[in-house]
Amino acid sequence: MTTSTATCPHCGAGLVPIVYGFPAPDAFEQVARGEIVLGGCMMYPGAPDDGCPTKGCSGPTVEEPARTR
């Protein structure tokens, strides 16, 4: 895997991988360390691979599609 150096356009924080699906127990520790972001159980087309680890930030750097449900 190549390491991305992308940063959040909103707060400038380095982006971290977004983990989708049911998170493993240690995933929460990784979230606490700002190493990953949880993307939730819902996967949608065009879901971003990386997101902003900053709480309260806009999160994923791409616009979320309109919720269908």
What DSSP letter does each residue of 4-60 carry, written as one string?
P--B-TTT-PBPEEEEESSPPHHHHHHHHTTS-EEEES---TT--SEE--STTS--S
For residue 61, the minimal CB distance to Zn ion (Å) is: 8
Q: Does 7 bind Zn ion (CB under 5 A)?
A: no
Q: Does 8 bind Zn ion (CB under 5 A)?
A: yes
Q: List the x/- string, 35-64, binding to Zn ion by CB under 5 A.
A: -----------------x-x--x-------
* Site residues (vs Zn ion, CB under 5 A): 8, 10-11, 13, 52, 54, 57
